[in-house]
Amino acid sequence: MKFSIAVNMTRRRPDVPMERVASEALEMVVAAEALGFDVAWAAEHHSIEYTIAPNPLVLITYWAAHARRIRLGTAVITAPYWNPLRAAGEIALTDILTDGRLEVGFGRGAYQYEFGRMAGGMPQELGGVHLRELIPAVQKLWEGDYAHDGTIWKFPRATSVPKPLQRPHPPLWVAARDPDTYDWTAETAAEDVRVFNGLFYNAAGVVNGFPTPMDPAASAAAPPLTPEVLRDNLMFGTPDQVVERIRRYERLGVDHYCYGASFGLPQDVALRSLALFGRQVMPHFTATPAPAR
């Protein structure tokens, strides 16, 4: 089984320096590389302090200068916010600048708040149309001259400049989701899930970039966070308990597990949890144990 890590930059208060947030995210990536993680992922979000990531390609290019072996990926490039020519060229350049370590994840987008500001108010459910048109167009542009006459985009003959270092292109991933899978949290992170649900179900606002938690009674779309849901679904506990839970996924054929880096934990606690996972969980599933410090 391969292991990756999703690193999000989060600012909960306006007095928290952004430089510190960026530094702590990089520290998490460097630590993950030392522990033997395969990929570090950066997201794309706009105008939300909960996930600060206006361009994942810029962020992972910065990480690449400090983490020299781990692969680096976008999770995800949000299709409705991009143009195929821009996406093809910027992805290819990032692949070159990261020495061919790029993994490219595409998605349709998550929050209606963002669609209202980045996609002209388009319902987020329609983002899949952009996703299904963007990916094949980008692939064609990487191959050479290509004219596109689609539903969303139209342009005359053109090609991606530059071309990706990895040939025929970096590994491609597509985000697919069921809303139920996002309704898991620990008791100590209950506000985080209310913030996420408020954005995901368009049931709460954003003030000066900071999203407000959703009232649990405000939307019937979000299932209740019962103790049973938390216990049965969230990946937390002792290393032995976490190993057993990952075994369940392994038996279902899952061969890649993505670790959520912090979700608001203090940096020292987040790094301790990461080290426990890397040293006492991952070696049960990988041929080479993570190095000791």
251 lies in the same domain as 199: no
37 lies in the same domain as 69: yes
Among 197, 214, 233, identify where a domain stops: 233
Instruction: With a cut of 60, say whether residue 188 has pLDDT above it.
Output: no
9 lies in the same domain as 143: yes
Per-residue pLDDT tens for 11-34?
A: 989 999 999 999 999 999 999 999
* pLDDT for 58: 98
* pLDDT for 292: 53
Instruction: With a cut of 60, say whether residue 184 has pLDDT above it.
Output: no
Instruction: With a cut of 50, say whether residue 287 has pLDDT above it.
Output: yes
* 126 within some domain: yes
* 171 within some domain: yes
150 lies in the same domain as 10: yes
* pLDDT above 90 coverage of the chain, percent: 72
Mean pLDDT over 51-64 rounds to: 97
Structure tokens at 23: 């530094």
68 lies in the same domain as 152: yes
193 lies in the same domain as 86: no
240 lies in the same domain as 146: yes
d(CA 117, CA 243) in angstroms, rounded, equals 42
Q: The pTM is what?
A: 0.83
Give me the number of domains the chain comprises.
2
* 293 within some domain: no
Instruction: With a cut of 80, say whether residue 218 has pLDDT above it.
Output: no
* pLDDT for 114: 96
CATH at 260: 3.20.20.30
* 289 within some domain: no
142 lies in the same domain as 248: yes
49 lies in the same domain as 139: yes
Q: Which of 95-104, 208-217, 233-242, 269-278 has the lowest mean pLDDT?
A: 208-217
213 lies in the same domain as 70: no
Q: Which of 88-102, 181-195, 212-226 has the lowest mean pLDDT?
A: 181-195
Between 194 and 280, name the one with better pLDDT. 280
Mean pLDDT over 162-168 rounds to: 97
Residue ranges making up the domain that contains 190: 185-233
83 lies in the same domain as 157: yes
- What value does the mean pLDDT of the chain take? 88
* pLDDT for 195: 75
pLDDT band at 192 (very low <50, low <70, confident <90, very high): low
* 199 within some domain: yes
* 157 within some domain: yes
d(CA 93, CA 172) in angstroms, rounded, equals 16
165 lies in the same domain as 126: yes
* 216 within some domain: yes
* 292 within some domain: no
Among 218, 233, 248, identify where a domain stops: 233
